[in-house]
Structure 1
Amino acid sequence: MNAPSPSHLLADARTPAAASLSIILLSRGGAYTAGMTELNELASRLQTAMDAAGKSVQLVTAAYVDRAQPTLMEALDLCANAQTILILPVMVPDEASLRRWLHKLIMRWRAGQQSAQQPMPHIVFGQPLLQLQGLTELLTRTVDDALRQPDVPEVLGDDPWEHDPKGWSQVPDHQHHVLWCVGPRCAAKGALQMWPALTRAIRETPALKNSVQPLQTGCQFPCNHGPLMIVYPDGVWYGPMNAESIAPVLTRHVQDREVDEALHVHGPRCLQPN
């Protein structure tokens, strides 16, 4: 007897009313706002199209697995009052390991709903984007339209396309890099919400302002210690971080050259003086 798929495990046997449907468009995050704007616009167009087709939807919202907000957990909270939550993955490619972890994340979210004595929504995943029926035919229909487009446009204005700005070749003066993990699991633990606290701590602390460069990263792998903060060139890993611990831990590390033992995960415990 075959075991049920994770998607089946997320859904109960009810057939909820269409009027109590919410949809989450789930994507991978990025460092630029243009992609987030496009996904929000797609969510708005989908809600309009569903309403025009007589398929009432409470909410259509974008959500991100990593690097951006709202996270999937935040989107689930927004949709918690719906009888059915449909998650439509719009990311390419679809990773089986990531999908399995997302199912576990949803199960944990539902467990939280149970402890709060909230009604249990019916949660289902749609097909991965590249597996959608009709996708090949849709791409085929776009070929003729694409071939009618003009050639790649020339650079507008006075920007010489042959050369990049000189500043792009200059290495900044920062002495330390702070790698802040915003991979899926750290994002689920609040890393994205804490990012402004990290940048604010650096901006508002004189000892950090001109010597520390914060960088977001993908998954660093020791996820149970997340949210993770890694300070280089010393190679010290800290976690689990919270918004209140960022400034004191980082200031102590950079200015006083001391490692916070309570949050130390990996790397040297003694630092060389500046």
Structure 2
Amino acid sequence: MSAAIVSPARRGALGVLRSSLGWIVLLILLLIWQVAATAAPAASVASFSTSVSAFFDIVTGPSLTADVLPSIARVLLGFAVAGVAGVVVGLVLGSLPALDPWVHPTISFFRSIPPALIIPVAMVVLGLGPQLVVSVIVFGAFWPVLLNTFDGARRVEPLYRDVARVAHVPRTTLLLRVILPASLPSILAGLRIALSVSVIVMVVAEVLASTDGLGFLMSYAQQTFDVPTTYAAVILLALLGWVLDTAFVAVERRLLRWHPAFRKKNHA
């Protein structure tokens, strides 16, 4: 009852305060980092201000086009390929339970392989270069999309399938007009996981098997004892992950605003 009489202005102020708490904690942690690094300087620790200066050197210098943009392109390309493939295969397998005994052992085997372990094989097959990094990203990001899509398709209300069968709805129409919309929350959950996996796998692949990119830049800075650039690369990767995740959440909210469960969660 009391929540019902809270004025819109006060409710908005409380919302702003709640959303600001996380930023306040982050600022406190950054301040601690700056003070600790300044008070007890060490060769292996760069202060926050020094790291930020190196960060701007990266995004305003040659490294922007040589390392930053190629890494972003690889993440987006690998994520897009893995997303499309995972959704298509997941919908097909989820809508055809008879296929499960045939493909389940293969899926279980390959999804248990850490993406980093296929890098040596990919180096032999593909050689060093962007094609290796993108391929490893696709391999790592494919599985969360596939499994979440498969699970969402299997959880579709059986009544929908029965009605479509009685009405002689074509299988393609059933997939696109019934199973796909009903599975969308699970699909988007898998895509969000795959997006973070894409960034992680990109860094690992570029550290181990690339001659450019953010992972290579960070590894090279570490090997040459360029501590500020090492920290700056970490900050840049964190920002990249945050921006991509924030953008994905905005798209997710737009796509799921019609979904009852999503609307219930946002009005809770």
With structure 2 as the length reference, what TM-score do the two structures score? 0.23
TM-score of the superposed pair, with normalisation by structure 1? 0.23
Structure with the higher strand share, 1 or 2? 1
The answer to which structure has the higher helix fraction is 2
Q: Which has the higher contact order (CA 8 A, sep 6+)?
A: 2
